[in-house]
Structures are given as structure tokens and as C-alpha cells.
Amino acid sequence: MTAAILVSIFMTLAAAATPILLAALGELVTEKAGVLNLGVEGMMLCGAVAGFAVAYSTGSVALGLIAATLAGVAAAMIFALLTLGLGSNQVATGLALTIFGIGASSLIGAGFVGRTITRLGPLFPADYAAHPWLRLVFGHDAIVYLSLALVLAVSLFLRRTRAGLILRAVGENADSAHAIGYRVLAIRTAATAFGGALAGLGGAYFSLALTPMWADRLTAGRGWIALALVVFAAWKPGRLLIGAYLFGAVATFELQAKAAGWSFIAPEVLAMTPYLATIVVLTMMSLGRRTGGRDAPACLGKPFPAS
């Protein structure tokens, strides 16, 4: 294979990894605060359709991205209202949110099926972005850079800042955090909103950058992969990055294999590979982990105040 092909493969890989990385990162922050929001797929679809609708109507991809983020937050706030405000079960509510997102995006997107927009282009000028090998670094769109910066920011936030410490404390032991005097529900609501924002943005990446065209259920279950990634990455942003790019790599391999017309592997098996490989590698990573440590936030999914 020539270098040009390798560069092109990496570009595809990064693009495939980015939406999962965004959604998983948002869910990681939500879960660190003790909220298990299984509605990632639904929030992604809300973001995807809102982003596409606004970008199509206004002609501005940037406005579309903003709308997608807000739509993700709005979907997350439905979840927060039900689970945090009214104390409903987080698992059931999250599943309902996914079903809601699928339905709502179909309804809103019905008028947009098959329409196209100008996709989100590279951030840097064409001198760099189209350069044969400099584009490896400079050829991505703004969201790819944003997602990488967010991994670093979230990692620093959780480990180094007081606000991050408080957020983890709320997820670790909500009663104690309350006893010390922190506002558990407010912090959880904020974390849920952040998760919604990134899920919405991740969803819009499908409709505005990957396939600049609307189709039903565009995210194709990537929200579930994002959820699994959070667990396998042991709630650590760095591992999330590795996991997401690994998923991107295998997804790219699948595309390449199909394009190359390999017939000795059934296409269904090929389609499975990204999911299988992600789980296998991340399981191996978690096996090598030091024993005795606990990864999941202790209060994950538990209602507050306890009923």
C-alpha cells in the first residue's frame, strides 16, 4: 500500500471515531456524576436531525452544529426532569429516551429524506488540508480537533479541578456529598446536560460531516457502542480515546475490505468486526488492569434522594 492510501485510511478512521468519541465522552461525564443515561442513541438522533434541518434551512453548517448541541441538551433535559426531578427509574427512562429519539428524528426528518447539504469541510486552508501528507494533521474538520481537545479537557477537569472532584464525589456517594453540602441534583443535571450536548454534537457529525444527507436512523446504533466504550474504558477519558479510534480503525477496515471485494468473509461477519474488535481489545485492556481498584462510580444509576 502506498503512503497516500494509508493517509486516506487514517482520515476515514478519525472521521469514524469522532462521533462515538464525542458521545462516549459526554456519557462518561454524566456517569461520573452517578447518572446512567442509556438514551445516548436517542440524543444523538435528536442532534443529527436538528443539525441537518437547521443546516439545510439556513445553509450554515455551523448553525446546524449549534442547533444539534442544543437539541441534545433538550433531550437530556427531558431525561433529567424525569429521573432527577421526578425520581423515575434511570434505565427505563433512558431506554424510553432512545425510542423517543428514533421516533422524533424520523418524524422531523421525514421531509428531509434524500436532501443533501454541503458537508463540513476541513478547518485549515487547502494548502495544508489538501497536502499529500500534511493533511494527516491538518486535513480534519473542526469537530475532530474539538473532540480531541475535549478529551484532554475532560480528563484534566475530572482529575485536576475542584469542580471535577465534586462531580466525581456526587457519583461516588450522593448522600455524603449532600451531607457535606453539595447540591447533588443540580450537579447531576449539569452533568446530564453536558452528556446531552456532546451526544447531540456526535449525532450531528453523522448528518453534517460523514454523510451530508438525511436518512432514517442515521446513527445506526453508534450510541450503544458509545455506552459500551465508557464501561470498557473504565470511565477514563484516555482509554475512551483509544477505544473510539480502535473502533474507527476496524470500521475503516470493514469498508476497505468491502471495497476490495473480499468474498471469503461474509459481509455480515465483516459488519460485525468493529463491534467485536472493540469489545475484545477493551476486555483485554481491562484484564490487564491492577486488581482491587474500583472503576464504576459507586452511585451509578442510583436515585437521589434514595427512596
Partner 1 sequence: MTQPPDQTAPSRLALAHVSKSFPGVKANQDISLSVRPGEIHALLGENGAGKSTLVKIIYGVQRADEGGISFDGRPVEIASPKAARKLGIGMVFQHFSLFDGMTVLENIALGLDETVPAEELKARIRAILDSYSLPLDPDREVHTLSVGERQRIEIVRCLLQKPKLLIMDEPTSVLTPQEVERLFETLRQIAREGCSILYISHKLHEIKALCEAATILRGGKVVATCDPRIETTRRMAELMIGAELKHLQRPSGGGKAGAARLSVDKLDMPGEPPFGTSLKGVSFSAQAGEILGIAGVAGNGQAELLMALSGEHLAGQPDAIRLDGRPIGLANAGARRAAGLACVPEERNGHAAVPEFTLAENVVLTARHRLPLAPSGLIRQGPVEAYAKDVIARFDVRITGPGALAGSLSGGNLQKFIMGREIGQKPDVLVVAQPTWGVDAGAAAAIRQALVDLAAQGSAIVVISQDLDELLELSDRLCVINEGRLSQARPVAGLKLEEIGLMMGGVHGESHVAEPAHV
User: Which residues would be at the binding site for partner 1 (CB under 8 A)?
Assistant: 162, 165-166, 168-169, 172-173, 175-177, 179-181, 290-294, 297-298, 306
Residue number with CB closer to partner 1 (135 or 168): 168
Cα–Cα dist 218/211, whole Å: 9
Least distance in angstroms from the C-beta of 163 to partner 1? 9
Residue number with CB closer to partner 1 (263 or 294): 294
Residue number with CB closer to partner 1 (43 or 187): 187
Residue number with CB closer to partner 1 (145 or 182): 182
CB 203, CB 91: distance < 8 Å: no
Least distance in angstroms from the C-beta of 152 to partner 1? 19
Least distance in angstroms from the C-beta of 181 to partner 1? 4
Residue number with CB closer to partner 1 (179 or 260): 179
Specify burial of residue 29 (Cβ count, 10 A radius: 0-12, 13-18, 19+).
buried
CB 120, CB 137: distance < 8 Å: no
CB 141, CB 122: distance < 8 Å: yes
Least distance in angstroms from the C-beta of 228 to partner 1? 21
CB 47, CB 11: distance < 8 Å: no
Residue number with CB closer to partner 1 (140 or 168): 168
**How many CB atoms are closer than 10 A to CB 88?**
15
Residue number with CB closer to partner 1 (116 or 176): 176
Helices 222-232 and 40-58, axial angle in degrees (round to 10): 130
Cα–Cα dist 102/223, whole Å: 12
Cα–Cα dist 248/243, whole Å: 9
Helices within the chain (DSSP H only): 3-32, 40-58, 61-80, 90-109, 126-129, 135-138, 142-160, 162-172, 174-180, 184-205, 222-232, 237-260, 267-287
Least distance in angstroms from the C-beta of 193 to partner 1? 22
- Cell, residue 59: 445553509
Helices within 59-120 (DSSP H only): 61-80, 90-109
**How many CB atoms are closer than 10 A to CB 222?**
25
